Amino acid sequence: MADAANIQNTSHGPLSSSPAHFLVVAYGIQSHINPAQDLAHRLARINTTTSVMCTLCTHVAAHRRMFPSLASPDEETTNGIISYAPFSDGFGDRISKRAMLSDEERECSRRASFESLSSVISRLAARGRPVTCIVCTMAMPPVLDVARKLGIPLVVFWNQPATVLAAYYHYFHGYKELFASHASDPSYEVILPGMQPLCIGSLPSFLVDVTNSRLSSMVIEGFQELFEFMDREKPKVLVNTMNELEAATLTALQPYLQEVFAVGHLAAMSTKARIHLFRHDKKSYMEWLDTHSERSVVYISFGSILTYSRRQVEEILHGMQECGRPYLWVVRKDGCDEDLSYLVGNINDNQGMVIEWCDQLDVLSHPSIGCFVTHCGWNSTLESLALGVPMVAIPNWSDQPTIAYLVEEKWRVGTRAHRNEEGVMAWKELTKGVGFVMGDNTVAAEIRERANALKQKIHQESITAEISENLQTFTKSMIDN
């Protein structure tokens, strides 16, 4: 977990003037931190008549893993473009497992987060860098508390697809009962205003959870508070997507959310170092990829949160042996429900390599990669789209079923492999999915062609002025206000 590129300690003195200062607050997991960091960098570099400063603020546990070489682990740092400052939710070196907390513990954590964030803002002001706007990733109720109490404008950074934003919005504005009444029928189609039909099985999992799990209840509570805030305060909403991907949905949202800005960006085109909260494997996986022919390797990764059960590992291993294709498989050291060290011993070195973590952009951009077996996290999906890699989508929870729908039905750059009632993807589903997108047939060839064509279109949008203009319009409006 090397420090982000060229991070150094800071001791900011008072500034001669007070530029606009965005405090970008991100939940302390990798899937939130990287898009938040990217947004902060672009805001800080935006070409406006007034200079802009950005500070990325995340949980102290994540901050310490991002910058392990700091003399004092909780101090503020900078890379010369943006600053980084931690806040505490009362859980020190671990990100709180919200589903495991009692109501009292949740309230204590919320108060601790409020007090810590308030202290960060006071400290920045004392250093001559008063915060003029807070940008918050998704639903973080303590950040809403801070914005209300201190009277600082708040902007929502929605780091999931616009289609997911629309689903949540309409759930809280008239569609809750419809979703609930058909939650047990995954094929039932729902038509949201201005959008194509979505089946229940393609909606975000928390909106149609028939188990009424504690986690789902807490997530819904958090989002309900966010949307009540949005109804009342009418904040600007920045969505991590692109018009080329979701133009119709963005248009359909305009009457409801008023100021919605598509600010998606291709991480694959960035020269900025990404943040990794996990150690890269020391195995020479890039050299191993070099030994394989073009579009021959299956890349498998379920991201930074999901864990594998023994049964799922065995099904994937069996499936890849049946496929007979070479594969690179990411299995985090903390990503298994039990000791699966036997796994490595069952790998044929000529066919597969198992690694703990990697630079995914490097892997996906390697010419030997033929498809990506993915959990359909939004960051992973955007990276795959940006690099033209077809996908086998294996969604699990949250926004992943909706993203799998976009991959398979809207963009048609992959296929969905289904989990059984126990949440396990059987080996036959895996082999069928890999064969579907990597086969030597017309269907697979068309998927590859569409993936490459979409890659070219979104790269073209990324290098045009549209995304930058959206950011400039947003930034100018915040400065003028």
Alpha-carbon distance of 179 to 65, in angstroms, equals 40
φ, ψ dihedrals at 230, nearest 5°: -65, -40
Please tell me if the domain spanning 8-163+208-271+463-480 has the same topology as the one spanning 285-460.
Answer: yes
- 3-state secondary structure (DSSP) of residue 55: strand
Please give the C-alpha separations between residue 130 and each of 180, 293, 374, in angstroms, as whole numbers. Answer: 45, 54, 41
At 49 the pLDDT is 57
- 3-state secondary structure (DSSP) of residue 69: coil
User: For residues 158 and 177, is the Cβ–Cβ distance under 8 A?
Assistant: no
Q: Which two tokens stand for residue 370?
A: 């033929």
CATH fold of 8-163+208-271+463-480 reads Rossmann fold (3.40.50)
Alpha-carbon distance of 418 to 56, in angstroms, equals 37
Q: pTM score, two decimals?
A: 0.90
For 285-460, the fitting CATH number among 1.10.287.610, 3.30.70.260, 3.40.50.2000, 3.40.630.30 is 3.40.50.2000
At 478 the pLDDT is 78
As separate numbers, helices (DSSP H) first and strands (DSSP E) second, the chain gives 17, 17
Q: Which two tokens stand for residue 112?
A: 């601790």
At 7 the pLDDT is 40
The bridge status of strand 52-59 relative to strand 77-78 is unpaired
Sign for the pseudo-dihedral over CA of 23, 25, 28, 33: negative
**What is the set of active-site residues?**
32
Largest CA distance in the chain: 66
User: For residues 318 and 390, is the Cβ–Cβ distance under 8 A?
Assistant: no
Q: Which two tokens stand for residue 216?
A: 């789902």
Task: Print pLDDT tens along the chain (481 aa).
Answer: 444 434 443 433 333 356 899 999 999 888 899 999 999 998 888 755 568 899 999 999 899 988 988 888 788 999 999 999 999 998 876 655 655 678 888 899 999 999 999 999 999 999 999 999 999 998 899 999 999 999 999 999 999 999 999 999 999 999 999 999 999 999 999 999 999 999 999 999 999 998 878 889 999 999 999 999 999 999 999 999 999 999 999 999 999 997 999 998 765 445 455 665 556 666 789 999 999 999 999 999 998 777 788 889 899 999 999 999 999 999 887 655 566 665 655 665 568 999 888 989 999 999 999 999 999 999 999 999 999 999 999 999 999 999 999 999 999 999 999 999 888 999 999 999 999 999 999 999 999 999 999 999 888 876 665 666 777 777 777 777 6
At 467 the pLDDT is 63
β-pair partners for 238: 157, 261
Closest CA to 12 of 83, 67, 93, 102: 83
Write down the domain spans for the chain.
8-163+208-271+463-480, 285-460
The residue written with tokens 């001669």 in the block is 16
